[in-house]
A = this chain, B = another copy of it.
């Protein structure tokens, strides 16, 4: 087996930049960078500076995303768009999003240093808002890039926790919330490619640095309300109880069991609340969330139907009432384009010889889902250290893995000729 082919120094530099950018945080104690805060604007300027140092022409769009452009070898070439987001969740991980901005910049810097250009113009989008933690505006920046001003028109009145309207935050950051602007012209695009930390343990557990995303999972979120009958914990015999928590516990296990059928399917009960829970009172009312995802919609639909049919059966058998409320609209599965999967895989295999690249679905949502509305998308995953945790301060990528990601992406760019 041949050794991987990469420059360890370039990985160390990338990790250094990720750590430097994480210091631009809304919080003094953790990494939190939300849309249009002073820390967010500082990060925007730092990214723009790195883009310029990499030989790119830089502009800031109407919603504050930073776009750097590196022209193709020949005029008239289409644009290969790459990127990810530089906002974060609260108390987040430094690599989420940022890696997908800084790795492409490192590639362009390397091309620029060597005087190379490739078959496509490269544009790197540093999206200003994807997590939407401040104004509850997931994917705002990529939606604005794809669809233009219409994508944010209904959002500018939203207020943050301090009741500051989004429009006012935009004006304070030098942006004009009433400005009209068009979405990107799909005819100019060759594809969109996003590098992202895996945010899970699959590559880590299989000892692989990089992976090729096959699709971004479809998902549904439901709120399940279970109503039984409260009663004194000491005085109601077990056969006479209609315990809402015991019923909910059985439903939690039914969700876990059905969603363990294999493949990309996952199911999670992340919130469960006993209403007015007291140690010596039989729970009368329980609410829980059910988050179900799968790489394809048939799998998701079948699993969701089975799960809620099972929950209804549990409720009937136990004599409790159940109400299942769709909490968010289902997210459709977004397949990554086959040709991009194959090219990313080929690049990974050239950089890490000896085995076919691992292909895996993405359970998390990414800006690529929005770009998929107008162009083919591909994604490369980078191994997530620390047990695979993400959205968490211990989220990490190793220097070697960062270097391998840059090497594979650079290989991909040099072979890109659509």
Task: Evaluate whether A266 and B231 lie within 8 angstroms (CB atoms) in the complex, with A274-B271, A279-B289, A289-B279 already known.
Answer: no
The docked-state distance in angstroms from the alpha carbon of A412 to that of B236 is: 27
A200 proximal to B (CB < 8 A): yes
**Docked pose: A374 CA to B275 CA in angstroms:** 40
Which residue of B200, B231, B240 is within 8 Å of A205 (Cβ)? B240
* A278-B271 contact in complex given A200-B236, A235-B200, C-beta closer than 8 Å: yes
Q: Which residue of B lies closest to A265 (CB)?
A: B238
Q: How distant is the Cα of A389 from the Cα of B233 in the complex, in angstroms?
A: 11
Q: A234-B364, A252-B249, A293-B233 are in contact. Are A280 and B274 (CB under 8 A)?
A: no
A219-B250 Cα distance, complex, nearest whole Å? 25
The CA-CA distance from A268 to B231 in the complex, in Å, is 10
Chain B residues closer than 8 Å to A283, beta-carbon distance: 269-270, 272
The number of times this chain is found in the oligomer is 2
Question: In the complex, are the beta carbons of B277 and A274 less than 8 A apart?
Answer: no
Interface residues of A in 212-269 (CB under 8 A from B): 217, 219, 221, 229-240, 243, 245-246, 248-250, 252-253, 256, 259-260, 265-269
Residues of chain A touching chain B, judged by Cβ–Cβ distance below 8 Å, are 198-202, 205, 217, 219, 221, 229-240, 243, 245-246, 248-250, 252-253, 256, 259-260, 265-274, 277-283, 289, 291, 293, 327, 362-365, 387-392
A253:B249 contact, CB within 8 angstroms: yes
Q: Which residues of B have CB within 8 Å of A280? A: 221, 268, 270, 291
Contact between chains at A272 and B272 (CB < 8 Å): yes
Instruction: Kindly state the separation between the CA atoms of A201 and B282 in the bound complex, as whole angstroms.
Output: 13
Q: Are B277 and A272 in contact (CB under 8 A)?
A: yes
- Interchain CB contact under 8 A, B274 and A270: yes
Contact (A231, B277) CB under 8 Å given A201-B240, A249-B252: no
Q: List 6 A-B contacts (CB under 8 A).
A: A200-B240, A229-B387, A231-B388, A232-B391, A235-B363, A236-B363
A219–B280 CA distance with the chains assembled, in angstroms: 11
Q: How far is the CA of A203 from the CA of B153 in the complex (A)?
A: 63
Residue among A221, A233, A246, A277 having the largest count of chain B Cβ atoms under 10 Å: A233
- Measured between beta carbons, the chain B residues less than 8 angstroms from A199 are 232, 234-235
CA distance A157 to B248 in the complex (A): 41
Q: Which of A235, A260, A283, A391 has the most CB of B within 10 A?
A: A235
What residues of B have a CB within 8 angstroms of the CB of A365 in the complex? 234
What is the CB-to-nearest-CB distance from A390 to chain B, in angstroms, rounded to a whole number?
A: 5
Checking B202, B256, B388 against A243 with a beta-carbon cut-off of 8 angstroms, the contacting residue is B256
Given contacts A199-B235, A231-B388, A272-B277, 14 further A-B contacts (CB under 8 A): A200-B231, A202-B235, A221-B280, A233-B266, A233-B291, A234-B293, A238-B265, A238-B267, A249-B253, A249-B269, A268-B281, A271-B277, A271-B278, A279-B291
